[in-house]
Amino acid sequence: MKTVSKQVDITIDSEKCVGCRMCSKVCFENVYQWDEENKCAKAKHPEDCSLCFQCEMYCLGNCIEVKTVTGQFFDAFYRKSGRGVDQNEKA
């Protein structure tokens, strides 16, 4: 299951979701909703995400990934420039 908005890309691996619902408990922006049919949480309102990363940290299934489009851009930029890259990674 993948939901994409302009700024935020939230991915939930539904195979790993254990149904703890910590994502909806900790998200103060009400991004998540429980999908009873698929027995998995889903990011219903990713456009409201404020990038606090609490859902990623508290997810008991370790199955949420929150990425920013901006973050991806800067990651690519730093990798290209050679900055921000771990020395072991360069070898």
Please give the residue ranges that form the binding site for ligand SF4 (CB under 6 A): 12, 17-23, 26-27, 29, 31, 41, 49-55, 59-61, 63-64, 66
Amino acid at 88: N
Instruction: Work out how close the CB of 83 gets to ligand SF4 at its nearest, in angstroms, rounded to a whole number.
Output: 26
Instruction: Work out how close the CB of 42 gets to ligand SF4 at its nearest, in angstroms, rounded to a whole number.
Output: 9
Residue among 9 and 64 whose Cβ is closer to ligand SF4: 64
Residue among 26 and 75 whose Cβ is closer to ligand SF4: 26
Distance (Å, whole) CA 48 – CA 31: 6
Measured between alpha carbons, how far is residue 1 from residues 16, 37, 44, 46 in Å?
11, 13, 11, 13
- Helix or strand or coil: residue 83? coil
Q: Where are the beta strands (DSSP E) in the chain?
A: 2-4, 8-12, 32-35, 40-43, 64-68
Residue among 9 and 59 whose Cβ is closer to ligand SF4: 59
Instruction: Work out how close the CB of 34 gets to ligand SF4 at its nearest, in angstroms, rounded to a whole number.
Output: 7
